[in-house]
Amino acid sequence: MAISVPHRLLFIDGEWREPIKKNRISIINPSTEQIIGDVPAATAEDVDIAVEAARKALTRNGGKDWAAASGAYRAKYLRAIAAKITERKPQLAKLEALDCGKPLEEAAWDIDDVAGCFEYHAHLAEALDSRQKAPLSLPAETFKGYLLMEPIGVVGLITPWNYPLLMATWKVAPALAAGCAAILKPSEVASITCLELADICMEVGLPPGILNILTGSGPEAGAPLVSHPHVDKIAFTGSSATGSKIMTAAAQLVKPVTLELGGKSPIVVFEDVDLDKAAEWTLFGCFWTNGQICSATSRLIVHESIATEFLDKLVKWCQNIKITDPLEEGCRLGPVVSRGQYEKVMNFISTAKTEGATILCGGERPENLEKGFFVKPTIITDVKASMQIWREEVFGPVLCVKTFATEEEAIELANDTHYGLGAAILSDDLERCERITKAFQCGIVWVNCSQPCFCQAPWGGKKRSGFGRELGERGLDNYLNVKQVTQYVSSDPWGWYKSPSKL
C-alpha cells in the first residue's frame, strides 16, 4: 500500500509553474498526523497569470480552439480525461485516502464517480450542439428568433476538502463542456488529486490555459480569484460563512455566483419501517465520508413509539463499524481531515454535554488509536431544539436525535433550520412519503435512503445552503450565457417613421 505523494507545482497555461513567492503548504496525513509532502501556495500574483492565460485561451484562433468549437470537439477531451482517471484509479484512490482520511474503498468509489462525471458531461457537450439556434415561437410573422448557448467566459472554481477530486469535477466538467476556461482553487487542506488532474490534462493534450489549477489558501489565492475583474463567474462549495463573503465580494462587480453551502439535514423515521434497514441508512446518511458531508442527515427525527428500540439498534450498528487507518481493508470510518476539524467536532460534543444532552455512544477517540484525528461515531439524545448541536453544522460523525408524535410535528422539526440542502424520509407508506417530500423545505429529498448522488440529477439547496444547481442539465446551464437573436424577415419597411423620399 506504500505510495509517495508526487511533488507538483501550480498548473498554469498548460505548464507546471513555480509560485511567484515560492511558498508551499505541508500535507498532513490525518491518520498518522505525519507530514507526507507539500503543495504549492499560490498568491494574487499567480492568480493574475492564470486569469490572463485563461482569457487568451478563450480567444485563441478566434475562439475556435475551445470556446467557439463544437461541443463534440470538447467532448473528446472530456472522454480522454475520464479514461485516464479510470486508468489511474488505484493511485488516485490511495492519494485521496491519504490526503483527506476517507476509507480507501470509498475513495475508489469517488474516483469511479469522477470518471463517470466527465463521461456524462461529454454527452452534455455533444447535446449542446443540437441546442444551438433553438427557435423561438414569436407572435409576429415578420420576425424569427432563436437562442445561442455561449460559454460564460473565465470561471473561478473553489472546492472543498471532503471530496477533493469529485467536488472539483462537479465544476470542472460542466465548465469545460460549456466551452469556458477555468481556474480551479481546491482546498489547501486536501488538494493532491486535483494536481494529478492537471497531470492528466497535460497527458491528453487539453489546450493550454483552458484549465488552470492553483493550490493555496482561501485568503491568499481564493479571495483574489473571487474579486478579479476578468473572472466572469464564481462557483463555490464550502461553508455558509465563506459563501457569504464570496457573494459580497462578487457583488462589487455584479459577478454571478453559484453557492453550494452547509447543511443540517433531517432524516425522519416513521414507525412502520424495518428497523435494521432504517438503522443502516440513518448511520450511512450521517457517517459516510467520516461525517464530513454538507448534506449529512445529521438530525434524526424518530417516531416516539419506536425510539427506544431504534436507538438501541443504532448503538449496536455503531459498535460494528470498523474504525481504522483508511488504507486498511474493511475500514468504514477514518479520521476527520485535520486537527482543527477534530477539535471543532470535540467542542461540539462537549458543548452538547454542557447544555444537558446525553452522549448515547461515542463522543471520544477510539481507545486503540493513539494517533490520528479519529472520532468514534457519536449519537446524542435528550436534545432540545435550541441546542447548538441541533442548530449548527458539525461536519463530523455526530448524529443528534429528537422524537415526534405526529406527522405535522415531524415536518415542523425537519424544517426548523436555517439550512435547506437535503432531507430524508424512511417509511413504508409511500403516500405519506410523497406528502412529506412536498413539505420539506430543501433542494434534495431521499425516500427510504440517504445520500445517493448521481451526476444526472441536479444538486443544490435553498435558504443558507445556497442557490444554483450543479450536475444534470441545469448544472451545465450555470456556465452558459443564453443569447437571444431576433431577425426581421419581412421585405417591407418597418414604417414607423415617414420616409423623407416620399414627402
Catalytic annotation, residues: 260
Asked whether 233 and 175 are in contact (CB, 8 A), the reply is no
Instruction: Catalogue the E-assigned strands of 106-253.
Output: 134-136, 143-151, 154-158, 181-185, 211-213, 233-237
Distance CA 14, CA 75 (A): 19
Cell of 451: 445520500
The C-alpha cell that represents 448 in the structure block: 427510504
- Residue that the C-alpha cell 498518522 belongs to: 32
Nearest Cα to Cα of residue 16 among 62, 49, 52, 56: 49
- Calculate the alpha carbon distances from 79 to 11, 113, 169, 466, 477 in Å: 21, 13, 13, 30, 20
**Cβ atoms of residues 256 and 277 within 8 Å:** no
Sign of CA dihedral 290, 292, 293, 298: positive
Dist. CA 142–CA 154, nearest whole Å? 37
Dist CA 303 CA 306 (whole Å): 6
Cα(235)–Cα(481) distance, integer angstroms: 15
Q: Which of 422, 432, 430, 425 is nearest to 453 (CA)?
A: 422
As a whole number of angstroms, the distance between CA 69 and CA 62 comes to: 10
Positive or negative CA dihedral for 249, 460, 189, 292? positive
Cβ neighbours for 137, distance < 8 A, ≥ 6 positions apart: none
Helices 89-100 and 192-204, packing angle to 10 deg: 160
What single-letter DSSP state applies at residue 20?
Answer: T
DSSP symbols for 248-316: HHHHTTT--EEEE-----EEEE-TTS-HHHHHHHHHHHHHGGGG--TT---EEEEETTTHHHHHHHHHH
The three cell numbers locating residue 129: 450542439
Q: List the beta bridge partners of residue 147.
A: 134, 484
| Rounded Cα gap, residues 40 and 157, in angstroms | 17
Nearest to 373 by CA among 330, 329, 343, 328: 343
